[in-house]
Structure 1
Amino acid sequence: MSNDIPVKQIDPSSEPSNNKSKPETVDLYASREKIYVKEVKGFFQKIRNVSLTLLMGMYFLFVWLTLDGQPLIHFDLPAREFHLYGVTFFPKDFFLLSGMLIISAFGLFFITTLFGRVWCGYTCPQTVWTFIFMWIEEKVEGSRNKRIKLDKAPNSSEKVIKKTIKHGLWLFLALATGLTFVGYFYPIRELIVDIFILDANGWAYFWVGFFTIATYLNAGWMREQVCLYMCPYARFQSVMFDPNTKIVSYDPNRGEPRGGRKKSVDPAEAGLGDCIDCGLCVQVCPTGIDIRDGLQYECIGCALCIDACDDVMEKMNYPKGLIRYTTENELEGKPSKLLRPRTFGYGAVLALMIGAIIFTIATRVPAQLDILRDRGALFSFNGEGRVENSYTVKIQNMSEIPHTFNLAVEGMDDIRILTTTTVVVNSGENRTLPTVVDVPPESITDTNSTIRFYAVSKTDPSLSLETESRFVGPRPRQ
């Protein structure tokens, strides 16, 4: 698809001085023409079928899986808890989300620098759902030629039935997509029941409806328009390309001049290249471009044109690879490098961030101890003549099991906790406990002393928490 604007050259000397030529009007945006994608089989299509099956399977299956009675993936927004593969995260762990977003970004940059838009062609959600919707359309309405004829034909019972079945299946898949997405925030087993007995809250209905409509429109109707006009990746991908990036390309040195011929004709004797100008590479393209026109931002790197062209080359007894994953340098006969400074840079940052996230999660303590000293009173004397300070102990249990903690305090001679020293904290609970600490007056050496609180789990002795606080007392006697 060319973006060039045709220009008419005007020679002022050839025009009468009193005749003002009218400027030519050019439309910069053309109405969408429906793309009828032809089914194709081949090596890259098999790879995509595997990736689509895995991704769709993970999306629809993981929401139903549980681990130790907890959903495998559950974003519990009201409780501010995020359960991922047996680990519970809290809002204070959001810096991990930032790290994961950075990893995703540099991972995309790294892969794009090496292999172009393979993300778009094989794993992008828009591609995954669009190909599933296209598969449904193919099974219901038939091959590319049958679909074209069906759309051009006047309304009939056959046409209405096929269109109804197709859109019904599209809406069913879109509804399943919406329910599954909301199921990651609202336990899916409860959501399904509540939705259909009309007992779910309004937001659940809104988001299920929103994602159902969005999926139906994006994958069923808009399709390539999302990639061409809505996705920013198509626009900035070029800054990550260089002459060593492997992309789907047509080899003009081998294919030109193109032209039709019989299988028995020797292309060299006929003065032709290997391209027989069959147009299959255009018919199988989900964005409707002609890869023979060169690199275009509309290309999503799906390689369907490679499978189609290889099939034609095989039938013509020509070598495969007229359209292939290659680099600009290779097409020009120059050496191509897979590893280069840019890939080393992206790879180094990616490895560093992955290592940092793994280390942070591996060393993450699944509980937190906070001590707040009562600022309403400096200190007081109890009936035993000992100096007291009041505190609020907060223990947050971020693990998947309840813990029983033993409290202790150190830092001054004969210091002790007067209140309870055993605290039971359930999974996900943030327990608050008023606590009183006292010491004998002779142990006070300063008006403001440093003490340390400890909380050791009886359930898991390896889980030990500690934090620092202050003990305020009277001025010590000289």
Structure 2
Amino acid sequence: MATPPSPERIPAVEPAPLYAARRKVQPRAAPGRFRRLRMGVGGVLLGLFFGLPWLNLNGRQAVWFDLPQRQFHVLGSTFWPQDFILLAGLLIIAAFGLFFATVYAGRLWCGYACPQSVWTWLFLWCEKLTEGERRQRLRLDAAAWSAAKLLRRLAKHGLWLALALATGLAFVGYFSPMRALPAELLAGQAAGWAYFWVALVAAGTYLNAGWLREQVCVHMCPYARFQSVMLDRDTLSVAYNPGRGEPRGPRKPGSDAAAQGLGACIDCTLCVQVCPTGIDIRDGLQVACISCAACIDACDAVMVKMNDAKGLISYTSERALAGEKPSTLRPRLLGYGAMLVAMLLALGMALVLRAPLVLEVAKDRLLYRENAEGRLENVYRLTAMNKTDRAHTYQLSASGLPGLRLQGNTRLEVPARGQASVVVALSLAPQQWPGSTATVRFMLSGEGVEASAASRFTGPGQ
């Protein structure tokens, strides 16, 4: 029987690292139709985000979420907390829109409209402006520290910080009057929460778009995880055609690849160099792919130079790659589309039918009292919200019990896009009291608009 080796003679084994070190991704710019599309969509979204707080309509900021007054002004319309059902509808529409886009074309949202992607492209442009193209940036990363390297780094981070601060300022501008906000911040007269949120949003933007970048998409974004269960064999995604591209190998432009035993792919790796997440699309569908189509632009340009047909990398489906006929009318896609249309119609109807006047009633905590005339009396606070752009005067009335008398101010003036409150009393003769709690209704009417609200009237025996 063999003698086991002593512990001193067993070679030490280094434990495998649990986490791989991050490989910095330096994407190369790839001109093409999809890059122009990304820049167009990103430019529109950035213009809306930074521009809307500065836009005024009818003497008021076009988009302003006035939290202290509980008013939300959006493009000339004023919404109140009572309208939050519309926000729920908007969120449901956004969800079904995302589901529909995912089933149809995968991570289309990630590649073209996600704020993480849009701001990352913007920060990459700043990096290109200050440090040069991909090769220059790689050489700069490998170079020893010098005055020139320090200057370029400072210029890059200076632009990043300026953009991050502008992003924080624009964000806070949706909750505070934008035209006065910069001067108040510089003068130290803004509220403390304004400084806090400008700093927080700026720090998040600087960190996510400048440092984390693809790590947000790969490791932090939940959409990257659950979107895969929504795909089917007919979903369009950015994919490499191995049947046409393999085997890979370099060749001269215009040469016969088949005669050399090669596929269309010349293994130039440009598709890898332009990828913002650093993946090789030739390895198949991957969770890190954000469907930005940068690899399509790069590969199409190479195919043109090789006098070969475009489309080696393209938006295609698993079924098409297998040589089968793709299907566009799929139950899942039709279902999401139908729900999206239905929710859009419902939200449109809700906006059209939204009441221009809302009346709220709050009963005094005291159940009832006897007034100087010996009548049973209940006290109420009425709040009227005028959602129109003009001030109105309304007439108040009450009903629900015979002999009911309304005491107090029955004319209520409500400013445009504002609210007004009044305290009134309802009284009833004791002999007309039904003996149990009764429902009463207040009515506010005037200038072709009316609103009502119900409450209760209490008396002896309650």
TM-score scaled by length of structure 1:
0.87
What does the per-residue CA deviation read over 1:62-84, in whole Å, with 9 as the maximum and x for residues that have no partner? Answer: 01112222221112222222222
Matched, 1:391 2:387: no
What does the per-residue CA deviation read over 1:90-141, in whole Å, with 9 as the maximum and x for residues that have no partner? Answer: 2333333222222222211111010000100000000000001111111221
- What pairs with 1:79-228 in structure 2 (closer than 5 Å)? 79-228=69-218
- C-alpha distance 28-272 of structure 1, shift in aligned 2 (>3 A): farther
Give the letter aligned to residue 420 of structure 1.
N
Q: Are the aligned partners of 2:167 and 2:205 in contact in 1 as well (CA < 8 Å)?
A: yes
Match of 1:275 in 2: 265
Match of 2:450 in 1: 464
> Separation in 1 of the partners of 2:328 and 2:18?
38
Match of 2:392 in 1: 403
> Separation in 2 of the partners of 1:141 and 1:99?
45
- C-alpha distance 413-123 of structure 1, shift in aligned 2 (>3 A): same
Paired residue secondary structure (1:182): helix
Q: CA deviation at 1:26?
A: 3.8
> Separation in 2 of the partners of 1:352 and 1:342?
15
> Separation in 2 of the partners of 1:437 and 1:306?
74
Q: Are the aligned partners of 1:394 and 1:430 in contact in 2 as well (CA < 8 Å)?
A: no
Unaligned runs of 5+ in 1: 1-15
Equivalent of 1:266 in 253, 256, 266: 256
Give the letter aligned to residue 344 of structure 1.
L
Matched, 1:244 2:234: yes
Match of 2:62 in 1: 72
- C-alpha distance 469-147 of structure 1, shift in aligned 2 (>3 A): closer
What does the per-residue CA deviation read over 1:226-258, in whole Å, with 9 as the maximum and x for residues that have no partner? Answer: 111111111111101111100000000001111
What does the per-residue CA deviation read over 1:269-291, in whole Å, with 9 as the maximum and x for residues that have no partner? Answer: 11111111111000100001110
Give the letter aligned to residue 423 of structure 2.
P
- C-alpha distance 468-336 of structure 1, shift in aligned 2 (>3 A): same
- C-alpha distance 441-226 of structure 1, shift in aligned 2 (>3 A): closer
Dislocated runs of 4+, deviation >6 Å:
19-24, 439-442, 472-475
> Separation in 2 of the partners of 1:163 and 1:375?
66
Matched, 1:422 2:408: no
Paired residue secondary structure (2:208): helix
> Separation in 1 of the partners of 2:364 and 2:15?
77
Give the letter aligned to residue 260 of structure 2.
A
- C-alpha distance 164-21 of structure 1, shift in aligned 2 (>3 A): closer
Between 341-350 and 107-116, report the one with greater CA deviation: 341-350
Give the letter aligned to residue 405 of structure 1.
Y
Between 133-142 and 96-105, report the one with greater CA deviation: 96-105
> Separation in 2 of the partners of 1:207 and 1:361?
31
- C-alpha distance 200-105 of structure 1, shift in aligned 2 (>3 A): same
Equivalent of 1:453 in 442, 453, 461: 442
Q: CA deviation at 1:361?
A: 2.4
> Separation in 2 of the partners of 1:64 and 1:288?
38
- What pairs with 1:333-372 in structure 2 (closer than 5 Å)? 333-372=323-362
Give the letter aligned to residue 395 of structure 1.
T
Q: CA deviation at 1:396?
A: 2.6
Give the letter aligned to residue 228 of structure 1.
V
> Separation in 1 of the partners of 2:265 and 2:128?
28
Equivalent of 1:329 in 296, 302, 319: 319
Q: CA deviation at 1:397?
A: 1.2
TM-score scaled by length of structure 2:
0.90
- C-alpha distance 110-237 of structure 1, shift in aligned 2 (>3 A): same
Matched residue count: 454
Paired residue secondary structure (2:453): strand
Match of 1:3 in 2: none
- What pairs with 1:30-69 in structure 2 (closer than 5 Å)? 30-69=20-59
Give the letter aligned to residue 228 of structure 2.
S
- C-alpha distance 466-267 of structure 1, shift in aligned 2 (>3 A): same
Q: Are the aligned partners of 2:396 and 2:410 in contact in 1 as well (CA < 8 Å)?
A: yes
Paired residue secondary structure (2:444): strand
Q: CA deviation at 1:355?
A: 2.4
Q: CA deviation at 1:182?
A: 1.0
> Separation in 2 of the partners of 1:374 and 1:203?
35
Between 295-304 and 195-204, report the one with greater CA deviation: 195-204
- C-alpha distance 259-28 of structure 1, shift in aligned 2 (>3 A): farther
Q: Are the aligned partners of 2:377 and 2:428 in contact in 1 as well (CA < 8 Å)?
A: no
Q: Are the aligned partners of 2:367 and 2:459 in contact in 1 as well (CA < 8 Å)?
A: no
> Separation in 2 of the partners of 1:470 and 1:160?
74
Paired residue secondary structure (2:258): helix
Q: Are the aligned partners of 1:382 and 1:388 in contact in 2 as well (CA < 8 Å)?
A: no
Matched, 1:433 2:419: no
- C-alpha distance 174-17 of structure 1, shift in aligned 2 (>3 A): farther
Q: CA deviation at 1:183?
A: 1.1
> Separation in 1 of the partners of 2:207 and 2:460?
73
> Separation in 2 of the partners of 1:49 and 1:80?
36
Match of 2:302 in 1: 312
Between 414-423 and 78-87, report the one with greater CA deviation: 414-423
Between 428-437 and 145-154, report the one with greater CA deviation: 428-437
Paired residue secondary structure (2:21): coil
Q: Are the aligned partners of 1:88 and 1:398 in contact in 2 as well (CA < 8 Å)?
A: no
Between 271-280 and 21-30, report the one with greater CA deviation: 21-30
Match of 1:4 in 2: none
